[in-house]
Amino acid sequence: MPVNLSLYLVTDSTPAILKGRDLFWVVEEALKGGVTVVQYRDKTSDTGVLIETAKKLHAITRRYNVPLIVNDRVDVAIAAGAEGVHLGQDDMSLVEARKILPKDAIVGISVSTGEEAVLATQQGADYVGIGTLFATPTKTNTKNIIGSLGCREILEAIGDKEGAPGAVAIGGINLSTVRRVMIQSQATCKALDGVAVVSAIMSAEDPKAAAEALSKRIEESRQPLPPRLPDPSVNQADYLSSQVPKVVQTMVSAHPLVHNMINYVVANFAANVALAAGFSPIMSPYGDEAKDLAIHNGGLVINMGTLTSESVPEYLKAIAAYNAHGNPVVFDPVGAGATHIRRAAVETLMKGGYFDLIKGNEGEIKQVFGQSKGVAQRGVDSGQSTLSDLEKAKMARDLARRERNVVLMTGAVDYLSDGWRVIAIHNGHEFLGQVTGTGCSLGTIAAAFLTTYREDKLLAVLAAALVYEIAAENAAAAKDRVRGPGSFVPAFLDELYAIREAALQGSDAWFIGRAKIEEIRL
């Protein structure tokens, strides 16, 4: 039986969740907010109470044309006339349940491995509930925590199977995590149909508003399937280059806000870069401010250059706020491999939110990717390169594909990828590597472009990099006023401003013939 799995509500009648409110009121408010499936779950009540409660819930769900699923208890589902049941791995088998249930009953199965999902597919499950994604207080008997990447592996296992069931993810999913779950879980041939939530709605002060917000975020997070692959007949470098002036004009006209949680060594320079390039910076390490700032649809930069014991919790608050609004977040893991504290911070942040862009030098990207081989960075510098050009391109591609985002590995040649397209950028000047803050400020300008041009993240970041590096080339070429890194900085800011003014006037003369980029086909 076809079922809309977009927003799947699992009930919980415990006092800690319901907070003294009426279960039926909470469920109906959630239905008003857009819940598409309701599962009645109660592990403690007697059978008579279960049936009576299920019947009352069913009377409500029918008014909204939404199916009621009963957890575990096939007998209760039949007695209440519910549309289906949800079975765990230790419950009655799907095959046996089908013998008892009405022919068109919906049957869902909990799975936590690819093998369980394949078996559920073979047995004809209508959908699978994949989890547990994140730790949750509402369900403590979890086999394991699989995360978004574990969810993707399960979807990969069933994506190309005939009769593949629908799929929802469950476990600790809320407004702050749902976007990351929907995007990062997407497999090559199959995406999640929706998510299942418990406390995100059942504990919400306003269940209707909570459901509305989740439903909106789920729809905004859906990605095209299959992922956009490069057209072999089109040179991506040429195509993307032709689009850059339009993207730049969009950014400078919008004048977006970028919230910088950036290291204090470069905060002033990054703010000046922002103003010169045509967007508004706010430099705030205070995570609680993000709730107010995120509503302006700007971007967030997490730059861990001057890490403190308070930094990571503040970063996580801000990431949650910007993820909840669907706004772009840039992660600059400065010095990611320098100390065990920084390595732990990277691991925590990668698990704690979704990043639209990860930008770093070779050493930092290695650490994020998990291929640092135990060799610590020396300070925040990348250190001696150990990868060939092809290996750098491949690592950028593979990390972007794993995280379902964009990765920019900076260096003498920058490698930019969205997991399928890979672009090498040969622009820039050596002075950029001799001035503190130039790499960090590139993350800030990338956030501005991601904020204003969301149709193609790779193109947005490419435009940011080209503006930045062409401005550097122009500044270094001004021999009458630039003699070295010291005099380079004011000239660089002037050239960013000049590009901004040209773009505001609709001119692309600053760009014609300047992009030195090539497509890398791996």
Q: State pLDDT tens for residues 278-323.
A: 999 999 999 999 999 999 999 999 999 999 999 999 999 999 999 9
Chain mean pLDDT for the chain: 93
pLDDT of residue 344: 93
Average pLDDT (181-196) is: 92
- Can you list the domains of the chain with their CATH numbers? 7-221 (3.20.20.70), 240-519 (3.40.1190.20)
pLDDT tens-digit readout, 340-369: 999 999 999 998 889 999 999 999 999 999
Average pLDDT (488-510) is: 97
CB atoms within 10 A of CB 404: 21
User: What phi and psi values does residue 519 have, to the nearest 5 degrees?
Assistant: -85, 130
Q: Fill in the amino acid letter for 297.
A: N
pLDDT of residue 324: 85
- Cα gap 330→349, rounded to integer Å: 12
Q: Please state which of the ranges 8-12, 180-184, 248-252 shows the lowest mean pLDDT.
A: 180-184
pTM value? 0.83
- Cα gap 193→133, rounded to integer Å: 15
pLDDT of residue 343: 94
Average pLDDT (166-194) is: 92
- Helices marked H in 222-338 — which ranges? 236-254, 267-277, 290-293, 311-325
- Cα gap 236→240, rounded to integer Å: 6
pLDDT of residue 303: 96
440 is catalytic: yes
Instruction: Say which of 37, 87, 440, 464 is annotated catalytic.
Output: 440
pLDDT tens-digit readout, 20-36: 999 999 999 999 999 99
As a whole number of angstroms, the longest Cα–Cα distance in the chain is 89
Average pLDDT (237-265) is: 96
Predicted confidence (pLDDT) at residue 372 exceeds the cutoff of 70: no
Residue 268 exposed, middle or buried by CB count within 10 Å (0-12, 13-18, 19+) = exposed
Q: What is the DSSP letter of 92?
A: S
- Cα gap 88→101, rounded to integer Å: 16
Q: Which residues pair with 194 in a beta bridge?
A: 168
Helix (H) or strand (E) holding 110: strand 106-111
C-alpha atoms less than 13 angstroms from C-alpha of 336 in its C-beta half-sphere = 27
